[in-house]
Amino acid sequence: MKRTLIAIFLLIVAGALQSRAADQMKISGSAPDFLMAATIAMGLLLDPALGAVFGFGAGLVQASIVGLSFGGFIASRTLLGFGVGSLRLWFFQENPLVLVAACLLGTIACEGLLFLIEPVRSSSAAIAQLPMESVYNAVLALVCYFLMRRAMEPRRKELEVRS
105 neighbors 135 (Cβ within 8 angstroms): no
Alpha helices in the chain (DSSP H): 2-20, 34-45, 48-66, 70-91, 96-117, 124-162
Give the residue among 119, 154, 112 at the shortest CA–CA distance from 133.
112
Compute the least distance from the CB of residue 96 to another protein, in Å.
26
Alpha-carbon span 69 to 75, nearest angstrom: 10
d(CA 156, CA 113): 32
| Chain residues 36-55 in contact with another protein, contact rule CB under 8 A | 47-49, 52-53
Task: Assess 143 for contact with another protein (CB under 8 A).
Answer: no
Amino acid (one-letter) located at 120 = V
Min CB(7)–another protein separation in Å: 14
Contacting residue, 7, 37, 58, 60, with another protein by CB under 8 A:
60
Regarding 101 and contact with another protein (CB under 8 A), the answer is no
Q: Is 17 in the site for another protein (CB under 8 A)?
A: yes
| Residue numbers at the binding site for another protein (CB under 8 A) | 12-13, 15-24, 30-31, 33, 47-49, 52-53, 56, 59-71, 73-75, 78-79, 82, 111, 114-115, 118, 120-123, 125-126, 129, 133
